[in-house]
Structure 1
Amino acid sequence: MLHHMPNILPARIILQEPKMLHRAFPVLLLLWASVVTSTWYEGSGYFAAQGQTNEVYVEERPHIPAPEYRVPQWCHLLNIYHGEAICYSPRGGSYRSSLGTRCELSCDRGYRLIGPRSVQCLLSRRWSGMPYCRQIRCHTLPAVHHGSYQCSDGVRVDSHCDYTCRPGYSLEGDRSRVCMEDGRWSGGEPICVDLDPPKLQCPESRVRLAEPGKLTATVYWDPPRAKDSADGVIKRVTLRGPEPGSEFSEGEHIIRYTVYDQAYNRASCKFSVRVHVSRCPVLKGPEHGYVTCDSAGNNYGATCEYHCDGGYERQGAPLRVCQSSRQWSGSQPPNLFPPSCNPCLSAMQINIEVNSAAGLLDQFYEKRRLLVISAPDPSDRYYKMQNAMLQQATCGLDLRHITVIELVGQAPHEFLHMSRLRFNVVLLDKGGVDRERYIQPVTPDELFSFIDTYLLSGQEQLQREQNRDVCE
């Protein structure tokens, strides 16, 4: 039996490949054919009606327009801010964004490319990537202790940052740093260190004269002025030598100060204290007598007293004081001659071993006026002043018949009602009458004026006029 095979027509498959220079994408159009086989009945001589037709069913995808390579602007124009795009198009130099165009991207100095370095214009009318240029920035530099920095362009590439330190501090490390293209700063972070010593000004050197009656002088000064050149803080001050207000002996003394700041930098200075002792010529004792002096004997303020041997009477001032002019009191006219010791031939004998004030005063009755000086002790300030003033007026005292009696220490009980605890001066006339009292040293001029006005007799006034120039 002859079997008739059905007519089976295969569907056509069409491949269309566009002409592309750079990586063209072939488009494959597939036609899926569904062949319906007719049924054949044996012995009938024909096919069934449904078997007499040949139908092809095609399943189609959405239509995609064919690419157009000749369109000059297939993708949008590529614009890279702070950068540059160099493009190569298959259609030539004037087609910068046509299909298939490839662009090489780069950024300006100071910017970094984010994304691919090369992009291509695709069928989708988009570029294969969207790179951009981001500005390169270095991190913000930390603050510098005791210093600062100033940058030319902030934290951008090629910005120069220059460091400076506060006055009194020195920079150690890089003075300038540059922001590099890799986003890092050149060099290392510097520091400001205190290397300068403090500023120190010592007191000026000084010269002092020893105090009266002493071989020393008390010297004061203000502490030195010190300030750190960096932060102004002084951590420690040391003194080498006596403290201010100390007593300095004769000669030169060096005082040194040293100061330290917080960084232990130090500064030193020195000054001198010189003490001079003003001295008078050494006194010699009178013939038949001797001299006793306090302090060092002939220094400024020293007091020397003349004494006579037994059977001799002292003539002249009993005391002399070394003055700051380096001369003894009584060395100027009319007191050019030192006290002397003369034999007691015609001198008035004074008995000091008496038991009453009346017994002492009776020895001078109608012979001498008395100036009685009382003091609690020889160091009494008023007592020394009174003696020094009277030593300059020995001639005037003799002209007015005045004898000076000194009661130092403890005066006789109820003697002239004079206090034993403080300085007193009583002036008695030749009759033993209390004429004037003083509680402070009296000057010779004041004393002589009172006597000349109220106490001199007519005969004495005449003699006073005749001898007016003797003591001048």
Structure 2
Amino acid sequence: MAKLCIVLLLEAHFVSWIHGHYTEVTTYDTYNEVLHEEEEPYYTPQLDYSNPRWCHTLKLPNGDVSCSSPRSRNHYGSLGTRCELSCDRGYKLVGRPSVQCMSNRRWSGTGHCRRARCHVLPVIQHGTFHCSENVMVDSRCEYLCHPGYQLEGDHVRICQDGGSWTGSEPLCADNEPPKIKCPESKVKVAEPGKLTARVSWNRPHTSDTSGKTLDLMRVGPESGSMFAEGIHIIRYRVYDQARNRAACKFNVRVEVRKCPALKPPLHGYLTCSSDLNNYGATCEYHCDSGYERSGAATRVCRFDRSWSDEPPYCVLMHINTDVKTAAALLDQFYEKRRLLVVSTPNVANPYYKIQNVMLQKADCGLDLRRVTVIELLGVEPRQVGRIKGRYLDSQVIEGLRQALHISTSYFIMVLVDEDGIDRERFMNPTGSTELYAYIEDYLLEEEERERLEINRDMCE
């Protein structure tokens, strides 16, 4: 009974006497992972080794067992044998690093070698990685970035024996600029009668590896704008979310088709719309005073750079005085020239004498303003009508007096415009300055005023 009690006590606590003291060794029956543990005190069993109680031989797959016995190395399973447990590279010891053979023929603990692992690597944005041995020791993981991204940091990480990865997590950076393609260069002919053209184009094609929204900027007029003659450069710039930039450009060329420059007719001049000789321009031919146009009044610059019609010319105005009616005479001046009709009872009239001198001095200025002077002198049966020395029939004279309500009793001058309308009447002699003022204020068109300003000095 006493022996049984001793055995039960030894199963719970093994007590030995070392140097006169008791040392207590606690047994372990768990499989907790043990990496480092304080060394247990070594003891020498005080038992009879002639009949030893041995533990089973320790085996540690993927590891090594190193034992020492208080008796000899041939008794590594004997009571009191101490064994150190260690694992091969790539394995981690789980359990006790050191065990002893107990009197109950059991070891004081257990251990096994578990394959060492690193933590699972996180997924990187815009990239991926491939590992040779998953998360096991010595596994080699290589990082790759998606197209358009560049790897910054460690390209390779290796799982170390201690369960940690070498290096640090890399980054896939967007260092590749976006792509942009501008439209083809544009060539357009200016619109008829204009020096500009409206040009439109499609938005440039852009793309980026990120697939995100791109910022597009334009330098120059927008599509659909009016462009003047010449070459215009349109530039576009595009930025991605990482502010990488790409640019492109194209030309807009506006061509103004021009006809050969027209020469003004002899004894005449031209007035043209737009820029004189560009496509669609219309040029009108005019003749100087005393001349009239023969041929087409206007010519147009066509798309093929040629002028319509043949050029007209200015011929000396012929006044036919052999007509029999006033209407036939006036038709020759209609829409061409103005008339200044001078009537006097006789050539000895003092008002007429003064006016005649004034008209002689104003002859050039009147001609410049397209005014023809008709004189009606005297009364029946000796009345005379003349235009620059050419005489009129008596029936024509009478018809003019009736049409313009001109009396033979006193001196009078009547100003008639190009449409045959009675514009002004002068009862007293009128100087050239005052006479010109009436004509310019009431009769001249803007075009004639410009022409007059150019040639005003010719009559000085």
TM-score (normalizing by structure 2): 0.57
1:68 aligns with 2:46: no
Deviation of residue 300 (structure 1)? 0.9
Match of 1:342, as an amino acid?
Answer: V
Aligned match of 1:307: 286
- Structure 1 distance, partners of 2:78, 2:181, is 85
Query: Runs of 5+ in structure 1 lacking a partner?
Result: 1-16, 28-65, 355-472
Percent identity for Structure 1 against Structure 2: 54
Cα deviations by residue, 1:34-78 (Å, 9 ceiling, x for unpaired): xxxxxxxxxxxxxxxxxxxxxxxxxxxxxxxx8733x8xx32332
- Structure 2 distance, partners of 1:112, 1:68, is 37
1:124-139 to structure 2, matched below 5 A, reads: 124-139=104-119
1:89-108 to structure 2, matched below 5 A, reads: 97-108=77-88
Question: Structure 1 pair 313/353, CA: closer, same or farther in 2 (3 Å)?
Answer: closer
1:24 aligns with 2:45: yes
Match of 1:219 among 199, 217, 222: 199
- Structure 1 distance, partners of 2:190, 2:234, is 18
Deviation of residue 89 (structure 1)? 5.8
Aligned match of 1:123: 103
The answer to whether the Cα contact below 8 Å between 1:196 and 1:230 also exists between their aligned partners in 2 is no
Cα deviations by residue, 1:186-228 (Å, 9 ceiling, x for unpaired): 1111111112211111122222221111111111011111122
Deviation of residue 289 (structure 1)? 2.2
Cα deviations by residue, 1:384-443 (Å, 9 ceiling, x for unpaired): xxxxxxxxxxxxxxxxxxxxxxxxxxxxxxxxxxxxxxxxxxxxxxxxxxxxxxxxxxxx
Cα deviations by residue, 1:103-133 (Å, 9 ceiling, x for unpaired): 3322121111233333333321111221221
1:420-435 to structure 2, matched below 5 A, reads: none
1:212-291 to structure 2, matched below 5 A, reads: 212-234=192-214, 236-291=215-270
User: What is the SS of the residue equivalent to 2:274?
Assistant: coil
Aligned match of 1:114: 94
Structure with more contact order per residue of length (Cα contacts < 8 Å, sep ≥ 6):
2
Aligned match of 1:446: none
Deviation of residue 155 (structure 1)? 1.4
1:309-458 to structure 2, matched below 5 A, reads: 309-330=288-309, 335=310, 338-345=311-318, 350=331
Size of the aligned set, in residue pairs, is: 287
- Structure 2 distance, partners of 1:149, 1:67, is 64
The answer to whether the Cα contact below 8 Å between 1:291 and 1:306 also exists between their aligned partners in 2 is yes
The answer to whether the Cα contact below 8 Å between 1:227 and 1:233 also exists between their aligned partners in 2 is no
User: What is the SS of the residue equivalent to 1:290?
Assistant: strand
The answer to whether the Cα contact below 8 Å between 2:45 and 2:79 also exists between their aligned partners in 1 is no
Q: Higher helix proportion, which one?
A: 2
Cα deviations by residue, 1:327-348 (Å, 9 ceiling, x for unpaired): 2123xxxx5xx21223444999
Larger radius of gyration between Structure 1 and Structure 2: 1
Cα RMSD of the aligned pairs, angstroms, is 2.9
- Structure 1 distance, partners of 2:238, 2:50, is 91
Aligned match of 1:148: 128
Match of 1:26, as an amino acid?
Answer: L
Structure 1 stretches of at least 4 aligned residues deviating more than 6 Å after TM superposition: 90-94, 346-349
- Structure 2 distance, partners of 1:76, 1:339, is 134
- Structure 1 distance, partners of 2:258, 2:128, is 65
